Amino acid sequence: MSFDSQYFWVVLCKNHKFHKRENLFFEHKIPLVETDAFQPPPALNGGLNVRCDDCGHEYTYKAKDLLRAELELPASFTPHPLFV
């Protein structure tokens, strides 16, 4: 069993029209900050503004929109300023 997986808190981009053109069954995940498999979600007060690294649109997300995902570290990844 390998424990080399990298987990990130992510949100799904709300610009479905742009991302569905590439793959109808794919939702673009925007990584926010690295985490582990057990850490609880970060506490958010109010909304979280996130700009998509692919389409460039910015949307507001709530705490319920945060998901944990196992991803490969993107080459240009920088943590969201709220989590630095």
Cβ contact 59:14 at 8 Å: yes
What is the spatial distance between Cα 1 and Cα 14, in angstroms, rounded to a whole number?
35
Domain limits, the chain: 7-71
Output the CA–CA distances (angstroms, integers) from residue 63 to 17, 23, 36, 76, in the order listed: 23, 26, 18, 25
Read off the pLDDT of residues 4-46 as tens digits, 9 standing for 90 and up: 678 999 999 999 889 888 777 788 999 999 999 899 988 888 8
Query: Which residue in 22, 26, 2 sits closest to 12, CA to CA?
Result: 26
According to the model, what pLDDT value does residue 73 have? Answer: 77
DSSP annotation of 14 reads S
CA 76 from chain center: how many Å? 14
